Structure 1
Amino acid sequence: MKAFSDPAQELHSPRFFLMRGRLHPNYEVPARAASLAAGLARAGIAPQRPAPAPRAALEAVHSAAFLDFLRDAPAQWAALPDAGAEMVANIHPAPEMLAQGGFAGSHPVAQLGQFTADTACPIGPGTWQAALGAAACALAAAGEAAAGRSAYALCRPPGHHAYAARAGGHCYLNNAAIAAEALRRAGAARVAVLDIDSHHGNGTQGIFWERGDVMTISVHADPDRYYPWYVGRGGETGAGAGGGCNLNLPLPFGTGDAGWLDSIAIGLAEIREYGADALVLSLGFDASKDEPLAALNVTEDGFARAGAAIAAAKLPTAIIQEGGYNVDLLGTLLARFLDGWGD
């Protein structure tokens, strides 16, 4: 199996995030990528550097205005008096504002509120280049899948919480959605996205909500108690042409290997029924029992068994790295998953 990594990921090094009214050191740090690279080495895989991500591939998923914001806003922010080192919104437009004709205007503070969903996606001077590198890895993995093979993309920052025009939850560009759209444009009639991160893939769901050519399935912890809080429940099934093409499989807190693997099996059965030509796997390791913000209780063996089960679907697969924040264990979990995958 080929793997892809881009050194630009080192340029994004967020300092903090806000949780329950307290500032915490940000868990989405460059050391995550180093740990994952060590896991690839354990699996005997030397990652390649991908070709740069073309703007057109990004605009196939994200709005041009959002992409321009991510690229240009840090310099505008730095020019403000008393600006912090990172862009973090102090206001988001309320539905009432928008219903009354509200709009963001050109000021970076207003733009920041419009283009971010929460305080867990600080934007620094290196965020854009890092996000571009992650998207490039996703596109390279999708290229392998389009050729009938499977590949792993070491994407950092992750992407599955990013909407078409809004960052959130450590995510800026939706790498899984970019890969899925690339597969469609390469000729796959139907693509499935299977998200096994412990957080619901809300951005991916949102991007494909009205699409019948991409099925989105997410196995995650109960959003009544866990990010992203507002979506991720079983009644969300898509709309319009995408009606019936979204499946959420929320799990009670503390669910271990058996329940998690059973839900993955349900998702794989739906993918077979859907008749997908290719698969995008949003691979998060934050379902681990050893996560700093653990909600599920999956073991190393559970990840190995998940790798074997998903590989058994025999679909060309772009494996897109999402979450997982125990930097001491990430490499081990990736190596175990790839051992289970078997090639």
Structure 2
Amino acid sequence: MQAPQAPSEHPLSLEAMLHAMPKAELHCHLFGTVRQATFEALNRRAGMPLTSEEVQAFYTRGDKPVGVLRVLRALDAWLIRTPDDLYRLTYEYLADAAAHQVRYSEFFWNPTGTAAESGIPYSAAQAAIARAIVDAQADHGIVGRLVAAIDREATPEAARQMVEWVTAHRSEHTVGIGIDYRETDRPPELFAQAYADARRAGLKTTAHAGEFGMPWTNVRTALDVLKVDRIDHGYTVVDEPAFARECADRGVIFTVVPTNSYYLRTLPPQRWALDHPIRRMPGLGLRVHPNTDDPTLHHVTPTLAWLMMVRDFGFGLDDLRAFLGHGLDGAWIDDGQRRAWRAQWLAEFDALRRRLSPNVPLQGN
């Protein structure tokens, strides 16, 4: 009789394989990672400015999700009051990500709101986040890096001030800047000077563009005027195939989000996955990499984000392997680290792929 397989050789389901594979996260917002229990504790400490029902509503994602931006604003407005609060949020996020084999994370935080609403100066806030990054790496093996994000709902002057803060308090743990919040009526060119300041200071740059159904020209402006190193979202690039081909030729990395709220709200349930631009982007030669964006608010994990690329958008295992490489190419790490991780992570991916159950239909893809 054949000897039983060793536990390490047991066949894997697709979800188990995707859970075990090494991952990078390049598009995740710190305030969108907050555990509900932590949110509730901060709310109690603040004297319950939000009712229990309101807190629960923040964490209820229906078929047509709404209210994510309200959560992010509520944290600065009412709940975050000390650097230790930022330490807690950062450490918990990195621990949760590491549990899904995220080995490297570049995550966003908006200093403007924290300074204005929470009253925590940039230097103290960054120091607390950096301390959590160090502790999480020691405890969980995850490498975390901070991306200071411009609040595009604030003024261009506030954006330049934020870049000044980052430049004046340079940290090895803060690798660049981004821009987020509501894209509508806030085109990228409003913030061209802040991005020029950041580039002169040697900071890496990225920008949310083409997220809220805004025209593909926002992506072009982010690339050609802001001169960003990569694009967050970028979905409307599919509306202009000639420009999409240009982005493909330039090797632009797009950090996409399978749970993006805009398309879940605006596309009917029976068409959502079929009509989502993510499905079309790789076919246009675009280099995409899946991310969680706001994991606790989107009810998604790093594992689920990758699973959705297969389950909802129809990509195969060869595609996923390519997406993994795109993430490493887009990461703000030195080339030596990139080569080492590429060799290691792709070898792990291939080994896990060989262990897939024969019942997984994508095994040969």
TM-score range, shorter chain: 0.3 to 0.5
Query: TM-score by structure 2 length?
Result: 0.33
Larger of the two Rg values belongs to structure: 2
